[in-house]
Each structure stands twice: as C-alpha cells, then as structure tokens.
Structure 1
Amino acid sequence: LPHARGYIFQEGEILSPDGHCHAFDHRAQGTVFGSGAGVVVLRRLEDAIRDGDHIWAVIKGTAVNNDGAAKAGYLAPSVDGQAKAIAEAHAVAGVPADTIDYVECHGTGTYLGDPIEVAALTQAFAASTPETGFCRIGSVKTNIGHLDTAAGVASLIKVALALKHRELPPSLGYEAPNPAIDFESSPFRVNDSLREWVSHKGPRRAGVNSLGVGGTNAHAVVEEAPERAPSDPSDWPFQLLVVSGRSKAALDANARALAAHLRAHPEQPLADVAWTLKEGRRAFEHRRVLVAASHTEAADLLEGSDPRRVFNHQHLVDDPEVVFMFPGGGAQYAGMARELYATEPVFQDWMDRGLDVLQKRIDYDIRALWLPEPQDHARAVERLKQPSVQLPLIMIVEHALAQLWMSWGVKPAALVGHSMGENTAACLAGVMSFEDCIGLVHLRGQLFDSVPPGGMLSVPQSASALEAELGEGLDMASVNAPDLCVVSGPQHLLDALEARLRARDIEPQRIQIDIAAHSRMLEPILGRFEAYLRSIRLNPPKLPIISNRDGATLSAQQATDPMYWVGHLRNTVRFADCMASLIAANPQRVYLEVGPGKALGSLAQANGVPASQVINSLRHPEHDVPDDVWFVGTLGRLWANGVPVDWEPIWGEARRLRVPLPTYAFQRKPYFIQPGVATAPAQEARPAHIDDITRWGYQPRWRPRTADCEIDVATELGQTEPRHWLVFADEAGLTDAVSARLREAGHRVTVVRAGDLFARVAEHEFLLAPERGREGYDELMRELMASGHPPQAVVHGWLVTREERFRPGSSFFHRNLEQGFFSLLFLAQAMAEENLPKPMHLTVLSTGAVRVKDEP
C-alpha cells in the first residue's frame, strides 16, 4: 500500500488541522487518512461450531440503507437515515438496544459528522430504552486513521478482538466532549481508557456503525462467541506436527514461530494444535514433520531440528507412486514392532493370524522369541539367527506392516523384495495365499538349516569386475548396486578371495551368516523346495512385482511357474537391475521399506534414489524411539513427500478444535521506489541546431570484418585448469560441439536439455522442463551439489536455433521468455539458494537477437 506523504490543511475541508483524529472531542475539526486492508472469514454459526472452528465473534444481524435521495447534499450525513439502519439491524438481530454495551462508531472526528452520528444512535436506542449512560462508544480511526473503503472492516475486527479479550480499548485523542453532542441525555459515553468489559444484560454485544458518502448507512450487531465445548482427549499419547513453507527460509521461520507459540500457550491441547496445522493450513513445497508428546518437547524439536526426530522433505509431485520394499533374511531383531503390536489393531490381527499358522509347524513358542522378556532377550537374539526361526517371522512382520500401511491409505504402485522378501511381495500380490507363503518361507529356513556351512562376502566392486575373480566354487549371490555385490560359497574360498581383494586395496566385508545363499551349495535342497511349490496354488500377481531374476516386471507365466521360484532361491539376486527399472519408469517414486531395519533403503540410495525419497517403516534396533512413535513419524514423512494418506486413524472420532496459531512467515522484500532528490537544473548552453533534417536520425547497420586476432581454442582450453561446466544444450548442435571441445581438454561437462519433466537421463545429462518454472532448476542444483561437483562455469545456449520456432505448448514469445530470461533468472536464484562461489562465469549464446546484413 502506498505510504502517506502528509497533507496541507485547508480550513473547512475534511482533514484535521493537527494530524490527529479527535473523535467526539471538543477539538474535532477533521479526520486523518490511513492506509490498510482487512480480511475476515465468515461462516454460518452452526457450521463453525460443528467443524470446531475458532470463533472470534458472532454477527447477530446487519442492515444497510441509502438515504441519498432525502439529503440536501451528496456528502451531508443524515440523522434519520442512519437511525433507520441502526434500528433495522437491532430488529434483524432480535436484540433490544439496552443489551448493547458498546458501539464502534464511524467516528471520523469532524465537527459536524460526529454529532450527527451520535444523534442518530440516540434516536435509534431511545425507541426501545430510556436509559442513559450505559453504552460506551469509540472509533478505531483515532488509532489507525480513516482507511476509506477498509474503514468498516477495521471497525469489525476491533470489535471482534474486544469481545474475545473482554476488554474495551480506549478511543484516543479525547479530552472533553464536543459541545455539539448532548452526551448527558444519551445512552452513550466515550470510552477514553482501557476498561474490563463487564456484561450487564446477557452476552456481551456491540454495534458497528459504518457510513459511506452518497448516503449509504450500514450497521451490524456483533455478539461474543458462545462458549464452545472443549475438545476430546486424544487417543494418542503423542502428536504428529506438520509445518510447511514456500522456501526453506519460510519453513524455518514458521517452525520458529510455532515453537515460540507452543511455549507461550501450553493451555492449547497439543492434539488441537496438530489438527489445526494439518487441516487448517495449506501445505507448501518445503515440509517438516515431527512427533512430540508435549508442548515443550515439540518446541525443543522445532528449534533444534534433530535429524533423528525432525524430518525435512520437499514435496516434488502430487500423489507420487509408492514402492513397497521387502527386506530378506538377516534384518530381524528381537522385539521388532513391539509397540505397533500393542497399539495397532490391523497389525496385531495379521501378526496373530500369521503366528498361529506358524506355531502349528514348530515345537517352540515363537511369540516368546519375537517379544522376549528382558531376562530372555539374549537367548531370543541367538535363536533368531537360525534361518527356520527368523525367515518366517520376518515375512509375517512384513506382511502385517504392508496391511497396516494399506489400511492407512498408502497404496503401493509396485512391489520389490530382496531374496526372501520377494516371497512376501508375492503373497501381498496374491500369487500365493498367506498361509502357503508362511509354509514356503518356513520350509526355506528349514532347508537352509540343513545345508553345509558356507558364507557370504560383500564386495564394493561392479559385477563385471568381480566375476573374473570368482573362479570355481564361488557364486555371485547378489548384485545390490552398480558397485556393490555379494559373493557366496565355502568359507575357505571366500577367505582366499578376501585376501586377494585386500592386497589390491579393495575392502570387502563378511556378512554375519554361515549360509552360502543363492549359490550352488543350495542345489541339494532345491527338489524339496520345488515339491512344496507344486503342492500349492500359484496365481497371476494382482500388483506389479519387480523380479530379482532379471529386474523386469514379474509376468503371470513366471509367477505361476514353480521353477521360477526354485531359480529365485538358487540364482543371483539382481537388485540393482530392479532399482534401475523402477527409477527409469518414474524417478520421483517414494520407496517405503516394509520390514525391520533400513538395509534396502541404503541400497536404494546406493542406486541413485535421493535420501528424502527413501523411508523405513521400523526404527533401527539401536534407535531409542517407540515403534508407534516412529511409525506415525513415517506417516508424516510420506505426507511430506506428497503421498496421500488417511489421517482419520490419527484424529479418530475424538472432537478436535481449531486453535489460533502463528500466521505464515512471509519472506518480505521492500519494493518501494525512493523519491529522487529535487535539484535545480543546471544552466547549460543550448545545443547547436542542425538544419539538415536528414541528419536528425540514424539507423544501425552491421558491417562484417575479419577478426584481427588468432586464437587456438584447443591450446587455450588445454592450458586452463579443469573446471565443471554446466551446458544448457541447444537443438541446433552448437553447444554439443562446445561440450565436446571442453571434454577433450579435460573439463567436466554436465549437459541440460529442454524436455517435458525434470529427470536424470545419464550420469552427466539431465532433462529440465522450462515451462514448469523454477522447480526444475532447484532440483538440478540439489542433484549437482549432492554429487559433490557444483558447477564452476555455465554456458547457456537454449536460445540458439537453426530457425526461429517454438516448443509445443508455448507461443514464440513465451518460448523466448521460458528458455531465455526466466531460465537465466531461475538458474541464478537456484544457484544463490545453494550459496555457490561468486562470481560465476556465465556465457549466454543466442540467435536472432539482432538483424545483420539485411537478413529477413
């Protein structure tokens, strides 16, 4: 809004002679204009009460009329017209005048306007009560000036706040009454000091008077909000709090403001705060979630940002696809998901069903090993190392977790498992029944118990490099990432391989298992495994499963073929291929590890998935956080990534109320243009007059010249220290040649091409959609910073074309803006957000900028 620049007082005009508004005062000679706006939210009272809204005040009745035709002049106020509007508002509200404690007047502070307004109020009130001196009046114009068309809403807001706080704020600039106002015989007195608002006849009520030029008169009767029933106790001992912002700076500021508010308002139920944050606030791109049991804990977490308790995500797309990842053997720990079993009925029911099925197959108490008493914990840990004990328990926990997630509205778009985890995926997809899958996995564990001892070695090498080292007797058990494999076989051969690798400074790691899984050592047990598979019903999958065998989607023929599953037990787990297929299909998927630990989440990141898109359902065994707290936090992290979840299990049927919370922390920037300093023009001699009219103008022309220098580009680049060049490639091939020259000279080059979405298509090549604004540029910078190679120079060639044309969906003008001005602007903003070193060398190439040699 424009700054007021003062005014020159003129006798007889509306403006005050001293710069102050003295409403109802003996000094009243004019008003002062202010600058502002006001916003209120209106709802039907019953709807607001039903939905638990915070109600500041209730508008009981309103009336508006126009008496312009009955007045002598356009600007002249009228007693009768105002009085009729006030009386009508009382009638609509159904309240007598003597129940109104306060009137917020139009109160402009003019010598004639104030007496006419008070006379109109007196006339309207006197029609229903002879009482005098019971009602206070005031004007917010004495505080903030006359806001013109916003003056009425400012008055309404003042009254609503006064009702809420049960205090009458003073009307400023008042010493003695305007002698033209007969206060003694009226119901009114000027409220010249702060007073407690004591109700004398029922609920506190106020009138709001607002008058317009030309004869418009408006009046409203406003009443204090009804006492609302308190919210219900929460079903949860802790609450999930969500905060968001349009930028990281705004997110941090919103978090700080919320922390301060929580410390200042411990009376607000934390469940109501959580509900208001989620249901009463718009969710922006930058999001933060945390779980806390008290106001103090929540404030501490918001201020401290402990990465183990406070999670930050950037919402990239709406409704991203979710991939359920099921870990295999070795992920178990005693007591996993203990609190979920105690608090989540869906999880408990599926666990009980699975454990009952398993219990019939074994001669020990599986529940005592899963959830041991403290004195039995060490024994349970040892027993859970046995394949026939751990594998079926892991599978049951994974399946129960998957069912729990789906009950909360999290639906998988694809399933992937690692080794035994693919059996869980097959069960969830309907390939085999729950009971048959438990039997299969238990048999798998029993067969593992019977094979000769072996081992597994994790090696940080690519499969192609490692295969040459295996020789006879060793097998590639799994290819987990492009540079991470696992080898299986007899212990003595693994010892020899490990020694050879360490001699070449390669650091392999032994996996704490005495089974050579996915190797030739399992061949003696494959017959029994096949026999069981042929005894159960196998069905086509109802959900996409990414196969460990080849990284492709499991076909119906594969799923129903017992030999596929036999080969799955024996052959290499190609998890890296699985991840490559998933990422290629959609790089913005969210990967949810459905099972104990975070091994698959780590492998997903090793395959190029950003850490913020990888979430694990259960805590690490050494992480001292209850399982249900972790699970609800995970739910919040899914929401922060844009995954739609069902919040009803959190809110339940308990009545929740919206509570006042800090408003959005806008990142303000001043845009006022400072006025120039007035200076007297210098006395200058008149320029010489040119008589020849043909010399009054000019036209630029381009004349080609041979360059007067010789540059050997290859030599120049070769003598320059290698840098990381970010090249925005054109479609004419010019920048491709530039990139090639740079690479030949030893420079690192990352190419960005215009496309329809943001994606990484190769190690040093990205697609970016110029039509989608800044988001792609931010993601590009994050990817480059995460790789450890920030750009050191930029070549921007998106405006280079063989001929002038535009991309589909953009006009020629918009194409030039998107791929030119805005592209450079968003790139600069994204680089500034990452605090890249300054200055940054930027070369911009363009064609068609100017006309040369009379070309068309």
Structure 2
Amino acid sequence: MEGVLEGIAVIGVSGRFPGAKNTAEFWDRLKSGQECITYFSKEEARACGIDEESINDPNYVFAGGILEDIELFDADFFSLNPREAENLDPQQRLFLECCYETLEDAGYSCNDYNYPIGVYAGSNMSYYFLYHLFNKLGVKDDLAIAVGNDKDYVATRASYEFNLKGPSVNIQTACSTSMTAIAMAYEGLLNYHCDMALAGGAGIKLPQKSGYMFQTGFIGSPDGHTRPFDADAYGTVFTSAVGVILLKRVEDAIRDGDHIYGVIKGMSVNNDGSTKVGFTAPSREGEAEVIAAAQGLAGVNAEDISYIEAHGTGTSLGDPIEVSALTMVFERQTDKKGFCAIGSVKSNIGHAISGAGVSGMIKTLLALKHKQIPPSINFRNPNPKIDFENSPFYVNTELIDWQTNGKPRIAGVSSFGFGGTNVHAVVEEAPPSQQHPSTRRYHMITLSAKSLNALDCMCVNLARHFEENPGINLADAAYTLHVGRKEFEYRRAIVCDSVSGAIGMLRAGRGEGIFSGQAKNMSCSDEGACSVMGKDLGQREVLESLAVLWMEGAPIDWLSFHEDEKRLKLPLPTYPFQRKRYWAEQYNMSELTRKSNFPSHAGDDLSNWFYSPLWKRAQRLPFDGERLDKEGIWLIFEDEMGLAAQIKSRLQEEGIETVTVSTANGYCRTGSSEYTINPESKEDHLRLIREVFHDKKPGPILHLWSVTGDKPFNSRRELFGRCERSGFGSLLFLAQALGECVIDDNIRLAVVSTGIHAISEERDVQPEKAVVIGPCKVIPMEYTNIFCQSIDVDLPDSNAPRDRLVAMILAELTAGKPETAVALRGCHRWVQSVENVEIEGCGDGCWVKDGGTYLITGGLGGIGLAVALHMAQFAKVKLILTRYSEFPSRERWQEWIDTHDSEDKTSGIISQLLQIEELGCRVMAAGVDTSSLEHMSELIQSAKARFGPINGVIHAAGISRNGLIQEKDIRLAAQVLAPKVSGILVIDELIGRDEPDFIVLFSSSSSILGEAGFIDYCSANSFLDAYAHYRNTISSTFTVSVNWDEWGQVGMAVNTGARSTRRKITVAEGMELLDRIISARSFEQVAVVPGDFLGRLEEINSFRLSSGQEHKQSANRAAAQDNRPKLGTEYIPPESETEKAIADIWQEQLGVYPVGINDDFFELGGHSLLATSMISILRKKFHKNINLQSFFERSTVAQLAEILGDYGEDMEGEYEEGEL
C-alpha cells in the first residue's frame, strides 16, 4: 500500500488531574500557566487523621494535588451494587470511567467493535485500602476488597467491564508505569496482538489533604512547589492523576476516519541496570540510550524535534542528569543551540507516580492538537548545573504558538521510574484530515443514556459543544453518535438541518423534530427499520420515521446507513456519569499500627516477641442446675469410662432430654435415645444429626470420645491413629453434619478429654489427643453459631465418686463468659492464658557443636534450609536434611544443575547445599516420608553409620492445605497431620533413647490463635505443643515447641502465596530468635510473634465468644436510604413474612434500599460470587437447600418466596431436606 504512514495513532484521550475534571479543563490550566497544587490548613490535615506531632513539625508541608469528587462514582452504570462500589479503590473507579470516556472520545462503542482491544495499565498501591478498608479484613468481603484494591486487577477489570478481548496487562515500573503501559500497547499494536489498545495509569494519593515531611536530600519539595530546571529546585510534591489514551495503527485510523491527536513514531523502554550511584538514582547513560533508541525507531533527526516533555521532577540531581542525557543524544546529530523547548507537567500538577507519564503524554498530545506549547511554570533562573546556553534546549515559560517552518510538529516525551525503568516516545502531530460534504440536507442526532437525568445532561453538554464549535460538521457529528456510542434505554433523537437548529432542539428537549422515550423490545422493529432504509435517507420525513423506530428499540445498521458516505469521527462530549457517594469512612489511624502489627520503627526489639501459653489456677465455677439449657435436646458422644453416663444421669435429674451415641462399626438406633455410629463415617454423623435434630431444638453437644482409660497400645503411633479417628475425624464430621443440615441455632460444643495437658502430677499424659484442639479453635471461626470449648479432665479412680467432676463440667456449660480452654484437676480449675516472656539466650549459633550431627526434617524447605545455613556458619556440622518429594543423590547434584535452568527449585537447593559443604560441613540430603517408620529407619541407620550419634533434632516438616471445614476431605486432612504428628513419633521411636541434646518442634502461632481454613494444620501443631510438654516430663532431652508466626521470605505462607499485612519474621530475625530459644532452654513452648500478639488473641477470643450473634456492618440501611437504582420494574413492597425476610437479606448484603418483590438480584448489582454467599444465608434462614442454578432461574424476591414457602413461627425448629 503506497503512502502508508508508519506509527501508532492516538485517537482518544481522557483524564482526571488536580484542578481539572477532564482534558479540556486540563488544557485550560496548562495554557494559562496555572499551578494546580492545593495548600490546606492544619485543621484539614487533622481531619484527615494526621497526627499532632507531624502537624506541629515545622518541616511538615501542607500541600498536595486534589482530585475533585473522588468519593463519587456511577455504580449503576457499571452494574456494581453499593457495597461493591464502596469496596472499590478510586483508582480502579476512575480508570474505568476514563477508559469508557476514551473509547467514546475516539468514537467507538466497545460492544460494536468486533476486533481485539487490549488494555495496558498500572496504578499506585491502594491508599484507599490502607486508610479506609484495612479494618474490614477478616469481617466480610475479603475477596471483594482484595480484587477491588490490588493493583493486579486494574487492566483486567476494564477488560471485563467492557468485554475487551485483546491482551490485558497490569504493569508496574514505579514513576514510569503509565508510560511503560503506553509503550507495551505500542508494541502490541505493531505486533498485531490487538487492533486498538487502551493504555495509561492511575495514581491517587490518600488522604488527599495530607501533606508530607520535608527532609533535606529527599525528593519532597520544601514548600510544595515543583520547579523543574530552576536554581531553586529542591524536589516535587506527590499528587494524583488518572489518564488513558486509545491507540491504533495509523494506517487503520486514517482508513476508518478516526480523529487523531498525534502519532507515536517511535518508542523505547530500557533499564539503567547498576550503572548509577543507587537503586533510586537516575542514570545519564540509561536515559540517553532510551531517548536515542526512540529517535532511531522514529527515523527523525534531532533538529526535527521542537519540544521535549521532560520527566522533570524538579530535583537538583535529576534535572541536570536529564538535560545532560538529552543534550548528549541531540548533539550527535546537530550543533544548533536553543531551538527546542523543554517543559514538565509536574510544574503544574506535581508528581502523580503511576499517573505521571500519561499526564505528560496527554499534555503533549493536546499541545500538538492546539499547535501551542504551554508554559513550564515556576522557572526563574536555571539550575547552575545545567548549561542551557550551550544546549539545544530552552525552558519555555509562556504560551507560544508552535512554529516549525512548515515541518511537522514533533515532540519527545520522557518518563523515568524509581528502579531505573526509562521510557521515551517521539510523537508527531496528526496528519491532515480531509472533510467531505454531505449530500443530505437533514441529519438525525441520536443520544441515549441509562437514566433520564443522564440523557438530559447529555443534551445540554452536546448543545454547549456545538455552541463552542459552530463550524462543526453536523454530518460527522451525527455519524460519530450513530456508530460510536453504546445504545441505552432512555433515548432522544432530533432531526435537524443546521448546527444552530440542533442547539435549539437540544436545549428545548421537546417539540417538532424531537423524539424522546424508552426503548422497548419490538419483534417488528427490524422489518420496520428495513422498510425505511431503502428510501431517501436525507428526507426529513424518512429520518423522523427512522427516529421513531430507533426510539422504540429497533436495531439500526448504522454502517449500512452511512455506507455511501466518507465520514469522519469527531471528539464529542462523553457519557455524563451520574455519580453518587460510595466511600468507606477513614478509620482511626492510631489503630492501624496495633491491628496490622506494623513496626513502629526499624529497630524492633526481638526480646518483646516471645510469648508462652501458661495454665493458671482460676476460681471454681458454682453449679446451678437452673441455668442449664432445658429447651433443647443434649447430644452426648459417650465415652467408655462411664463419665458420659454419669453426666446423662445428672441431666435427667434436672429434667433435660438427652441422646447418647457410642462408637461401633456402623449406624444403629439401639434405644429410644441411644445410637451407635462408626467414628470414621461422615455419613453416620450426618444421619445422626438429621435424625436427632429433625424436629427438636438442638441443645449443647458434649463430645467425650477423647476420655479414655489405661487401655494398652503397641506404639504412640497406634494411639495417634485412634485419636485421629475418634477425636479429630469425628469432630470434623460433626461440624460438617451441622453445616449440611443447615442448623443455625446457637450451639455450645464441649470437647471433653483426659490426659492432653501436663499441668501438675498427671499419671498418663497422651498428647496425641491434642488433635481435638484444632477443631475447638477453628469451628467457631467458620460456623459463627457454634461456640467450642475444650475441657481436659483428670478422672478420679474407678471407685471414687465423680459427682464433683460432673458438676464442674456442667458448670462450664452454664458460664456466662466461658473459657475456650479449661483443665479440671481434682477440685481445682485451671484456665489457659498467654503471657509475654523474657528469654535471654545467647546468639551466633552458640548451641551448635563443632562436629555435631543434626537431623532437620523439612531441612530442604525454605526455613529448614535457612537453619542449616545458619548452623554451618558457626560450626563444621554434619547435617541430615529431608523433604517429602524425591531429591537427587549427592553424585547427581552437578549433573542436575547442568541440565536444569536457574529457575529450577531443586537446583537452587543444591547450590545452597554446596555452599554448606564449602564451609567444611557434611550433608546427607534425602527425599523421605517422615511419617514412615520404615523409610525413616533406613535413613537414620545410614546417617548414624556415616556421621555417628544424632546430637539434635529440628522437626520442621509439614504441609498445609487451605480449605473450609464444610469442604474438607478427611484423607487430605490426614496428609496434613501425618508429617508433623507421625513424623515426630517416628523420630522419637528411632532416636529418643539416644538422648540428643535437644528436640525443637517447629509449630505455628495458628495452634494458639486458630485459623479459618486450616483445621487440620492447627490440630497438627497443637499436637506438637502438647508433645513438647509431655516429652519434658519423661526425658532429660530439652524439647521445645516454637509457635512461629508468619515468615516473610521463606516458609509456607510464601510458598502458598498467602497475603498478610502483618509484620513478618525475616530469616535473620528468625535465626537470632532460634539461637535464644535453644540456648536459654527456658520454656517448653514459645510463641514467636512480632507486634501485639495479645491484642490479636483478645480479638479472636472475643469473636469466638460472640458466636451465634449477627455480625452486621454498622448502619447499612441508614447509609443506603433512597439509593434504589432505576430498574425496569416498579417498586412493590414485600408483604409476606418470607418476602420481607428475603428483602431484608438483599438490602443488607447489596447495600440497596428499598428492595421490592419483583426486583431482580442481578439487576440490583448481584453476581455469581455474591449469589453463593446469598444461598448460604438463605439456607440457614429457611432450612432448605438451594442450588446455584435454581437461584439463577428464580432471582426475584417473589420467585424465591414462592418456592421457599411460608416463613414464620411455624417453621421454628424444623428441618426440611430438598433441592430447589
């Protein structure tokens, strides 16, 4: 094709900037040389939560860039319910708005464009999450908050909202993010990855009226002014901006009649590497290389470039480096001086981080469009380190016409990011477009919106645009509105023959030639439209007939309508979003440090990180039979020692109905209130709950299957198997059965055991039973109507009376403020607490023996390997390191490294093992199942033969699998329990008699706190804790269980991608903490937790105690008054109790009020993810099972009420099984 213009055209722009709600206002501010920085008062800063110390500091700068109405959003337009909108980061909100505006500015409706459109974008971290939503975590909406605020979803959300099917790429390069996004879009178009691409970024700083602390030598300006290239340039001010541009191959844009703002002729991206003084410092060489590369790709000579939009941060270091880099490149091609203007948008709006680069690009495109160069303000005297007189550049300080002596106007745009990613673009003015006259006398202007208010605004905006542009081509305007706008329900069409006539009609809103109404689905519309299309489309009567059909919803083929014309698209006013306030209030920032456990300063004192669970004598509770729950039926899982029988007898004396269940091979009803079940059968537990609670109110549940006597066992592993089946497994199945049967009555579950805890002089401690502690801690987190309590007892002799013990157990079940963990010993009551403790051990691996042999299970994992490397630094040790999966033998290590790439995980482990060997240590590495006696026996025997006796054990093996109890598979749970529980039992069986110096068990803080989704992991670690206490009573070997909190660089949380805002333990800190614990030998169990561990524990225990209560957002309904969206259905209030109950649930969950009986869940802003949550609530409320498909098919209040049936007093206590 001859005459093809190479490059990528920019055909649409949109943005939000300090002091400017759109690009038109932005240009007005730029050309008039306005500084758009806001200075605010101490009172305003105080209202934003800034602390008094900062406010009163003389170095605090009260300046920032403000985006107006940032809390407003048109949630209805984007089909988001109020709660979703409130949880959405304003960066994502404004990016969505700008994307839509950019498409409309270019004259495109994404619904009618059948070719791939890409999205390339990035944003700042979410300050909205940090200051407004952080305190919601762990309450509800966690997933919605994460997706709505993580910068990983900026581009992909836009692709989803607008059905864009090209590449969708989230980009992060710090300050150059949005320009890198444009560069990636540019490359994507050149490589035909898409046919159009949205590109840009969003950078919003919150709170908006918060300033910053000036520090000499840092990037912040001392007075809030940014002075690029000036002698008084000492920094910038960080602000906010959002910008988006639409790109298209220039030949395609010309062919399609697109309006072109400018053409990117060449663009390049690079990184400085390490050729600079520091990571955040700029590099002259790096900047010069990227500028030269872009100019080379563009094929332009330096003398052809007459304006540079510089990165221009206004720092004494960065500005001279940038000008020097530019000069270096230009002087390779010319020796002319002072011919190229230079400026920076940061002088007007400050530094918008992820929105900075696109702001500079949009400024340059607007300058090319208007053929003017706006002033770079705040410049008086040049930086003495910049020799402008002997350079090609001058700082432009006033609005000037962009003169080029007949050559095309060409500019360069730079953006450089912290970390060294540099971007430069060469942009040329748009090629001239040729207008074509229209053969039609009359033209039909069509406008449509989602609401009548929006439609009225649309008419006013278009009339104003026509008034400001009286020479506009009316035919092109009509064409743009026909093919470049999505068609909505509320419509208005005018038939006119002039711009002035159009203005009058748009202002009038009604009259001859004006058609208004709501589109309806008409089966005859297509035929009617076709009959009109064959006639003279320039006749007024024909256009008016077509307008009527379009008003009623007839689909018009606008491309066929215009097929004989050569029309151009024009930038016209875009959709007038009808914004409302969706804004979570900022919470008390003093709470942030406590709740998130962020360090208050860099020098954390590790001595404050040690905690130990302790048993304390507490007041014995009085027993009062009148306080027992006598309304519900008590379910008792009966032990073999007769304790449950005595409890049952006492309850019957109080007139309480009981049901007992014993272990057997299968389900059987053996009496009127006696059952047997197989403890390993999930189905038996479900059948039991269904039958017992079918028509009766549930009372407390007592689970006594962990109450045992002196029944012999062959090994502790055999005992664990029994405890796993009748303790952990049974409780798991019990919780699943209660959930499956949709029992939402408040239930108190007491798990009674013997011999878990070594508190005083117990005769028979069986720590294997501690696997029931996990369910006790986690069940209340996942089933908020169930409160769990662990009661460990010491049975009196068989001949001794047990009345006192029975009374003490029942007293625990009547306590108004019950303890979650209680031990009853004789006449004494003990409760568990956690205290901050001091451990003064030595550091630097003082516990490691030179020449010693140490077994580290999980030693080839992240934490285990870190421990091995730490030990090797202080002594020539012999290490036995394991992992579960296969590991290459020593002779294959080098071969493995040679045949695998550097990203291979095993290669990385081998490299670290070789480092250990280089330190003079010996290593035996093996893939082995630590829970297998056979496999571990072979390993231990081999290791002893090679290295000698084992001096110490660190048991760090373990796996975790996230999964809610209701979906938990017992077989997978067993795989989580095995490496920790069976693992240490096997090791102890093999080497325990050798009396090693120490055994360190790597447990988790989750065994103390509990953690939803990890019932099996919590149980496994609870066993380790109990085992450490037990082992110290029978052996001289020091055994300690360390409840580690989350590690930040290695460990399970990193491997599984778990996210947490809490302070994490670094490897270096972990090693120092481990040194202290092992060398001090002070405690049998130590929790290592940064931050306020006691505060976290208090919050979690408060949550457990509140189980069964409704957890609702405060004042949701009050906040949602009168926010009912405009729907296609009339509001009809609910009448029946069922309708009212469903409507109340929807109002609460969707944040919409009021909800009528014919309102559709999905029209109100619901979606499939929220539907699953709603089904769970409805199941509990109505005691019926509803599947997702049924909900989709019957999604109004009335439809659901019809199939759910009556809801009232007659339903209380009933359970009905069924599928809808």
TM (norm. structure 1) is 0.49
Larger radius of gyration: 1
TM value normalised by structure 2:
0.35
